């Protein structure tokens, strides 16, 4: 986690954020990686998938490990189709007729994950759930998943991260205040700093 309230990060959605959670770092820690894969497998099993898909790019390695452990086929999905070659959005086996669990590393607004779910549905798949390592728990994401009739299950959340950062002394009073202000009204906080 990095906290930069004075030089906020810009998300793919255009929103500004004082916090950035880089789950890609977890791939470098085999013991933690194994625990995460085990938790994702357990979450996936509840939906009896016949195909595991990863949202490009950060969901792809997790999906590959889960599919391997479950001995299931695996695909990956881009938020938009390629503009060259076959022009595909879903790569791997044809998703038609499959029950697909889509794996994502992080949920902010949820829009990129839901575009991936839409692409799988357009191919004729059922997508009951997105499993994610982490979610900021933003109200707009929760509403978007509800409206899309796609479940969302996460291994960890903003509240857990903030509490752990405070317990470890990573956040001073200014950092805690920045996170609280951002969380109270993400859109207004972002707009005040030139974001979407």
State which CATH number among 1.20.1050.90, 3.60.20.10, 3.40.50.2020, 3.90.1300.10 fits the domain covering 31-161: 3.40.50.2020
77's enclosing H/E stretch is strand 74-77
Given this model, what pLDDT does residue 11 score? Answer: 86
What is the C-alpha separation between 191 and 196, in angstroms, rounded?
Answer: 6
Query: Would you list the domain boundaries of the chain?
Result: 31-161
Residue with tokens 């002394």: 169
What is the DSSP code (8-state) at residue 23? G
What is the C-alpha separation between 177 and 21, in angstroms, rounded?
Answer: 18
Q: What is the pLDDT of residues 155-166, one digit of tens each?
A: 999 888 888 888
Given this model, what pLDDT does residue 179 score? Answer: 85
Q: Is the pTM of this model over 0.85?
A: yes
Question: CA angle at residue 126 from 121 to 129, to 5 degrees?
Answer: 100
Most confident range (mean pLDDT) of 146-155, 158-167, 182-191 is 146-155
**196: pLDDT strictly greater than 90:** no
116's enclosing H/E stretch is helix 111-122
What share of the chain in percent tops pLDDT 90?
A: 67
Query: Is residue 133 within 8 Å of residue 108, measured between CB atoms?
Result: no
Given this model, what pLDDT does residue 27 score? Answer: 95
């Amino acid at each position: 986690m990095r906290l930069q309230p004075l030089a906020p990060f810009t998300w793919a959605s255009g929103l500004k954020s004082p916090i950035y959670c880089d789950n890609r770092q977890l791939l470098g820690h085999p013991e933690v990686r194994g625990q995460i894969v085990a938790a994702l497998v357990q979450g996936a099993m509840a939906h009896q998938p016949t195909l595991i898909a990863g949202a490009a790019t950060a969901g792809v390695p997790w999906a590959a490990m889960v599919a391997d452990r479950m001995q299931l086929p695996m695909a990956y999905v881009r938020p938009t189709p390629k503009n060259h070659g076959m022009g595909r959005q879903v790569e791997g086996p044809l998703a038609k007729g499959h029950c697909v669990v889509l794996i994502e590393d992080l949920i902010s607004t949820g829009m990129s994950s839901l575009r991936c779910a839409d692409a799988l549905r357009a191919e004729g798949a059922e997508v009951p759930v997105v499993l994610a390592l982490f979610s900021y728990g933003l109200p707009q994401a929760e509403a978007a998943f509800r409206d899309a009739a796609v479940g969302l299950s996460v291994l960890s959340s903003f509240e857990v991260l903030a509490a752990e950062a405070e317990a470890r002394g990573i956040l001073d009073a200014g950092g805690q205040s920045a996170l609280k202000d951002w969380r109270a009204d993400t859109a207004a906080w972002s707009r005040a700093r030139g974001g979407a």
